[in-house]
Chain A
């Protein structure tokens, strides 16, 4: 079938070849949806390889408010595996709220009210257990936040049932190493897996957080400004990683950095005052935006 005919990804990674790509992971449980959702979307960026996309999540007519404040109004968009979706917009435009609603983290805020529909592989996410949903739609935060335990245990944390310490090291080692290797961190830490994770550098910590989020084998990876606390070198490493990951997971990234969106995103959603102003392929968004407000924002007139 079509999937197997796609050429292998050829994007070169300047930072070394430590990243290993996992072969396309189980899409088996969505076979029914395949015909509808599978499409070879035209790439926006010339340097991107063509990757087949598969719709994993869909947001429809989403409204979110905190008390009197309307944070997100009437937003609809698809989240596809095989592409990076960047959410951009000025501070307070609702992009982080939208991101957090995708794995129901908004529910942690007492005053948050949500209406509309979000689906994951065709299922309304409010019908899923939050804990189960969050293992399928994991998140990486702005500040690197490894847990106060060893590098190994940070990744193993998600593989263990709730507060259990079991299964023990040995049975988890292959899975932990796989996740670290997908996050491009394994070579740097494989000799000190038992060291405290908080001793790693900022960039390493953030990749550990990505490894942690990948260990659950999620369908969707949410990134909330993952590079804003990092130096340019670490940012570069993580950006390359994100582009690589989009082949296996749907990636949604909130970013303040327009260049970053331009570099790594396939689709960009521009939000302003809670509304989705424009959703378009990256090239169209930055080269030829339809809306005047998008034009102003991407040209730096406000933000």
Chain B
């Protein structure tokens, strides 16, 4: 005798419900197929053109795809600009989230802040890029980039990282805020009931409690910032190699211009100025792998740290 399964069979459903179920299945599978198609195509094309030397040679001018070098500088650029973005977005995002969750007074200001964060989350990055171009050409921003004869260049790692941080900021804020809201109120009160001030409670109890959310939020934010192109093209200068400004080693590089994998793909795509599809696919694969690594880290980290919670 076969045991009846607890899940009801759809055989007894009406025709409409069964068609709906079939449609839901179809959409789910279609989505998987599209995703797999993109990844596999990129993987296929990328692996075909990706040779190790591309990873440690810089782009250079050449007549054909064999002479134009690799994309070491764009890779370094991606890492640098994303690091700057996260170094800005993480502390600011945590601060905004703590204020929104723990203070939020006066209420109208909290609503304004909340809408601002939402606006950044929805703003097209090219709008932010355009705003950045105006902002960082202002003379008082001159210390961040190159200044020649009183004219501020306004392009470099600092401006690009700063505007990218605005893309990542809402993701950090949302994640940390959700984390804070998941901390039961009696945990805060337990700290106050031991004679601790609010600020001590935030620093010693709440921030440690949301550390996983801070890390998850900034990794998701980094994954978002790493793939943006508009801000890079407008604000990083999009030069082949890192061109420092001034003699101080790291600071000079950061004030100077460069490129990232996204702008490299943009330039080398069949629609771009350089039109070297082989290089574009290889670089796109590297970028995709970077994003996938971040996603896997978020996933693994998230699973590992969720176990310790209050009831």
Q: Which residues of A contact B (CB under 8 A)?
A: 103, 105, 108, 130-135, 138-139, 141-145, 147-149, 157-158, 162-163, 196, 198-199, 202, 209, 212-213, 216, 222, 229
Contact = CB atoms under 8 A, between A and B. Distances in A.
A132 B196 CA distance: 9
Interface in B5-24: none
B296 interface: no
Contact of A162 (B190, B196, B310): B196
B310 A147 contact: no
Most buried by A among B190, B208, B310: B190
B186 A143 contact: yes
Contacts of B200: 162-163
A98 B193 CA distance: 15
Contact of A138 (B187, B194, B208, B211): B194
> Which of B194, B197, B203, B309 has most chain A Cβ within 10 Å?
B194
Nearest to B105: A110
A268 to B, nearest CB: 23
Contacts of A147: 187, 190-191, 204-205, 208-209
Contact of B197 (A131, A144, A196, A229): A131
Interface in B138-197: 184, 186-187, 189-197
A145 B191 CA distance: 10
Contacts, number: 85
B311 interface: yes
Contacts of A103: 193
B134 interface: no
A145 B196 contact: no
19 contacts: A105-B189, A105-B193, A131-B195, A133-B195, A134-B193, A139-B190, A141-B186, A141-B193, A144-B311, A147-B190, A147-B204, A147-B209, A149-B204, A149-B208, A157-B191, A157-B194, A158-B196, A212-B190, A216-B195
A196 B197 CA distance: 23
B308 interface: yes
Contacts of B205: 147-148
A177 B203 CA distance: 25
Given A142-B186, A149-B208, A162 B194 contact: no
Given A162-B200, A198-B310, 4 more contacts: A148-B209, A148-B211, A163-B200, A222-B193
B34 interface: no
Contact of A145 (B190, B203, B208): B190
Contacts of A216: 194-195
Interface of B: 184, 186-187, 189-197, 199-200, 203-205, 208-209, 211, 308-311
B189 A108 contact: yes
B308 A143 contact: no
A141 B197 CA distance: 18
Contacts of B190: 139, 141, 145, 147, 209, 212
A134 B191 CA distance: 10
B197 A143 contact: no
A143 B187 CA distance: 9
A133 B193 CA distance: 9
A141 B310 contact: no
Contact of B192 (A134, A142, A202): A134
A134 B189 contact: no
Contacts of B192: 105, 108, 134
A138 B184 CA distance: 19
B194 A145 contact: no
B308 to A, nearest CB: 4
B184 A145 contact: yes
Nearest to B201: A163
A162 B208 contact: no
Contacts of A144: 310-311
Contacts of A130: 195
Contacts of A135: 194-195
Contacts of B186: 141-143, 145
B308 A163 contact: no
Among A131, A134, A139, A163, max chain B CB count under 10 A is at A163
